Amino acid sequence: MSKILPFIIAIALVVAAGVAAEKKYESAPDFTLKDLDGNEVTLSELLENGPVYMECWDLACVNCIAELDALLPVYDSLKSRGLQIVALSVDKPSDEARVRAFVKSKKWPYIVLLDQQQKVKKAYNIIIKPTAYLINMNGEIVYTHIGYKKGDEKRIAEEICRWLPAVDSIPPSEKEK
């Protein structure tokens, strides 16, 4: 029996490793919202172009704004590999003009969507702001980030990089964009 036990343990470890490799992710609820220009934007269509890092924010959330500001260098360095950042504003309809002016003053290059009825916020069960989700191209939530403190953007960037195509797999014409 003592010679069989190490063999059984080894098999159990191999099986456990196989199960861990097949991690199942939660599907991200699809949605369509208007951007600041009034265009309808659908999550599933965005995912055709690359993974999406979606952050729920509003004008009163200082940490949300700090995180979106801190992500600018991350976005600039990874957008050529397909990264898209969606800044999901959950401000009230009466604040739309203020949101527009604020985003314009910040010069955020992100896709800013208006979730004025908070349908997406509810679909994703967002309670605390900032809350962000990294959604892979299969429409799965592969990373969740709640709250923000200075330096978190490094961890966020690491997670995003895990889901971006390798630089070698991007055609030369796309790298130049």
Contact criterion met (CB below 8 Å) for 70 and 82: no
Tokens 């991350």 belong to 74
Residue 12 lies in a domain: no
pLDDT tens sequence across 34-61: 999 999 999 999 999 999 999 999 999 9
* Percent of the chain residues past pLDDT 90, beyond the cut: 77
Residue 113 lies in a domain: yes
The boundaries of the domain holding residue 113 are 25-175
Closest CA to 110 of 162, 67, 63, 156: 67
> How does strand 26-27 pair with strand 140-146?
antiparallel
Quick one: tokens of 45? Answer: 């269509």
Residue 81 lies in a domain: yes
Arithmetic mean of pLDDT, 25-40: 96
pLDDT tens sequence across 122-152: 999 999 999 999 999 999 999 999 999 999 9
Residue 80 lies in a domain: yes
What CATH number is given to the structural domain containing 33? 3.40.30.10
The residues pairing with 27 across neighbouring beta strands, listed in sequence order, are 140
Residue 9 lies in a domain: no
Q: For residue 174, is pLDDT > 70?
A: no
Residue 96 lies in a domain: yes
Task: Provide the pLDDT for residue 164.
Answer: 87
Backbone φ and ψ of 135, nearest 5°: -115, 120
